[in-house]
Amino acid sequence: MKAFIVNRYGKKEKLHPQEIAEPVVKVNDVLVQVYAAGVNLLDSKIKNGEFKLILPYKMPLVLGHDVAGVITKIGASVTRFKVGDEVYARPADHRIGTFAELIAINEADVALKPKKLTMEEAASIPLVALTVWQALVEKADLKKGQKVFIQAGSGGVGTIAIQLAKHIGATVATTTSTANLEWVKALGADVVIDYKKDDFETILRDYDVVLNSQDAKTLEKSLRVLKPGGKLISISGPPDPSFAKEIGLGWPLKIIMGLLSFGTRRKAKRKGVDYSFLFMRAEGSQLSKITALIDSGIISPVVDKVFPFGKTEEALTYVESGRAKGKVVIKVK
């Protein structure tokens, strides 16, 4: 089968199209013919080696964390799916590789594709929607009437986070640049701040939850818009010791993560705010809940560009530009 592979870690390393062996289908796996693959900054960060310590991959590696497609084969112990099912997934870490014609995925990480979506739209959903679910529902326990600040409302995560937070019944503030103000408002955000002109720190007060996806300076400012008892959840670092524990890292890495997040945790504690880092995980049962929200019209995908399979490298470069409005997808079949 054809796949896009990287041969080594490195910022300058390119994706190479190559014929490789078809994946081995384990007893709990479904084999998915990839119709479309979503592109994430995580693909780029893994290629660059930024996750080498906590998520080491053997090279050569097929990148790609999001897929929509059709099941062509099932393992002997699969119970939830059959050949011919249209599905989507964020395969688990160490089993990624959706920039390919086929991928084998544990059935626990798969869900039926929302009926009303095209394959390209469906492939745009899993990683960002699971991130948002795990941040706002699992970690923040966001409630009706609470106030949440979601940074970068025009990004892959932001567009879905705004919609889920509004569905929960929260008041939503977000940031974006001038050109995106109106359509981000149309997604449902109550307060839209133009980060090119205004400083959110001077506008927002007494928030219950912040979903941080930007740099360290933004993280620090975010602490100041929260009320005591509020929750700061960061998906862009720094990782904390609880995260190291959750994913079963050894003492040296726990200590490193303790040091990396020490300043943030200390400042948060002084403000009476809870800081936590989230690295999303694959989970088919949560994705099924997201399917239901999409099928009932509560969440809609936001796809910026669809690239042909042959232009996978260009798709990744576009995502790396940081200017995507919603998601970038590769049409494989």
Residues that bind ligand NAP (CB under 6 A): 40-42, 45, 128, 131, 151-152, 154-158, 175-177, 180, 195, 213-214, 235-236, 278-280, 319, 322-325
Nearer Cβ to ligand NAP, position 6 or 30?
Answer: 6
CB of 123 to ligand NAP, least distance (A): 14
Q: Which of 290, 284, 280, 330 is nearest to 29 (CA)?
A: 284
Does the CA dihedral 152-155-156-162 come out positive or negative? positive
Q: Which of 235, 88, 264 is nearest to 158 (CA)?
A: 235
Report the alpha-carbon distance of residue 70 to residue 230 in Å, rounded.
42
| Element housing 231 (H / E) | strand 226-234
Nearer Cβ to ligand NAP, position 106 or 213?
Answer: 213
Q: Which of 164, 162, 208, 206 is nearest to 188 (CA)?
A: 162
CB of 30 to ligand NAP, least distance (A): 24
Nearer Cβ to ligand NAP, position 157 or 165?
Answer: 157
CB of 78 to ligand NAP, least distance (A): 27
CB of 222 to ligand NAP, least distance (A): 11
Q: Which of 69, 85, 74, 63 is nearest to 30 (CA)?
A: 74
Chain position whose Cβ is nearest to ligand NAP:
155
Q: Quick check: helix, strand or coil at residue 49?
A: coil
Nearer Cβ to ligand NAP, position 119 or 132?
Answer: 132
Nearer Cβ to ligand NAP, position 42 or 70?
Answer: 42
CB of 122 to ligand NAP, least distance (A): 17
